[in-house]
Amino acid sequence: MEAAYLLEMEGISKEFPGVKALDDVQFRLKAGTVHALMGENGAGKSTLMKCLFGIYKKDSGAIRLGGKEIVFANPRTALDDGVAMVHQELNQVLRRSVMENVWLGRFPTRLGFVDHKKMYNDTKRVFEELEIDIDPRVLVHTLSVSKRQMVEIAKAVSYNAKVLVLDEPTSSLTDEEVEHLFKILKKLCDNGAGIVYISHRIDEILRISSEVTIMRDGRWIATHAAGELTTDKIISLMVNRTMENRFPPKTNKPGEVLLEARNISGKYAPACIDANFMLHKGEILGIAGLVGSRRTELLHTLFGVNTLGTGELILNGRSIKNNTPHAAIGHHFALLTEERRSTGIFPEASVQFNSVMANLQAYVKFGLLSRKKLGDGTKWVIDSLNVKTPGQKTHIKYLSGGNQQKVIIGRWLLTSPDVLLLDEPTRGIDVGAKYEIYQLILDLANQGKGIIMVSSEMPELLGICDRILVMSNGYVSGVVERGVDFGNIEGEQETIMRLAAQYV
């Protein structure tokens, strides 16, 4: 006899100004299973789950939990009824402690005062149950993105949720942390919970899911048992076309030295230490390393976000000082940050503002901002990067993650950069949009731009980069050269991992 459905969503539709985000979508989740939800960016996956969670109000359709029709007025009512969601973009109070974030809105009290001892013990109990090694008393902003992600997962579990929605949960986790997460999910399923797992990582989906639902353009396309699917079948259903290759053909040819870093170290810890490397015109230089290797800190030092302590930067044979991001932009540097929501976009502003704000001076005419110039610049971003948006005035928060990422890349391209620093440029982006961004990176390299790209996905680095610089605990531990070392992907991954662990 077929298992009863824990969650049923029937005929769900949702419309925003100028765009129909969901059109008669169905989704069913069985207790004790992981059900993957897949589709390109903009397919409607997150919007569907936000309708479930009470963030958005559905326009039509029915939602049943345990056979009973429900309508959650807001996320709090969803949590109280056993439905929890861990969002791709973390929403945390960074200057408060881990335990305060876990119990936010439901602090334990004693005699009318917050009972910090109970809060600590309750947090410790949840963390021990999930085997999470984080001090509940530390401030959230001191944690890495991956540890912050685990805190959010623990918070969701603390509600004893019957339905747990995870939106791109492994996008910032190491391989070891991914395995840890999968252990947590198995434990939850064994206890009868149902997991909705949104991810673009097909290998993970096929490994842990019982069923897979594919969405495209706001519509339900298909639901299959995971065992019936292959990578090619999933991609075909997602993008409605076959993709012969995961990466575009390598056509760029690195030329003369563009940028040289000589023994650079950040002034304030944590920072890169005594880093030496060269970046050539037309080159894509990858940066690999484990969480804590300070790859991001290296990019921040190059861009002036972190103060340069010692060492020297040479650009086109001339010594420069990127003491601030403003100075770096003046030297034609651009930085795409890792955390799109907190340090990339202005969510309440328009696509136009987000496109042009890095170089507003270029749109001034007779001392005033020119509407025509602003419109032309934004149109170039939308057309050149194939951004899916109802219009220039649409708030960027209504765009999918992939389209938000394209707008940010376009913002920097409008500044005509020579050196592009890309920190996890395809994080949380579907396979089709990834290919477009890979092609864009290659096109920029073909124009003679120098690109430094941090990525946690080893196949991505091996597929698109000319060389891979490996970092370990702040140090450059080695460089893997294309044409000499690339070829045996498994062998190269092993080499890179060995270098990444050199100073740990």
Sequence spans of domains, the chain: 5-239, 245-332+417-504, 341-416
Question: What global pTM score does this model have?
Answer: 0.66
Q: How far apart are CA 33 and CA 408, in angstroms?
A: 37
pLDDT in tens, 373-413: 999 999 999 998 889 898 999 999 888 777 888 899 999 99
Q: For position 19, what pLDDT does the model report?
A: 74
Place of tokens 């005035």: 393
Q: Is the distance from CB of 317 to CB of 474 less than 8 angstroms? A: no
Compute the C-alpha angle 125/131/137, nearest 5°. Answer: 55
pLDDT in tens, 92-151: 898 999 999 999 989 999 999 999 999 999 999 999 998 999 999 999 999 887 788 889
Parallel/antiparallel/unpaired status of strands 419-423 and 450-454: parallel
Q: Is the distance from CB of 333 to CB of 277 less than 8 angstroms? A: no
Give phi and psi for 264, each to the nearest 5: -85, 140
DSSP string, 378-397: HHHHHHHTT---S-TTSBGG
Q: For position 98, what pLDDT does the model report?
A: 96
Q: Is the distance from CB of 310 to CB of 275 less than 8 angstroms? A: no
Top CATH class, 5-239: alpha beta
**Sequence-distant (≥ 6) Cβ neighbours of residue 179 within 8 angstroms:** none
Closest C-alpha among 386, 470, 475, 481 to residue 40: 386
Q: For position 3, what pLDDT does the model report?
A: 46
**Average pLDDT taken over every residue of the chain:** 89
Q: Does the fold of domain 245-332+417-504 match that of domain 5-239?
A: yes
The dotted CATH code for 245-332+417-504 is 3.40.50.300
Structure tokens at 195: 């997991």
- Reported residue count of the chain is 504
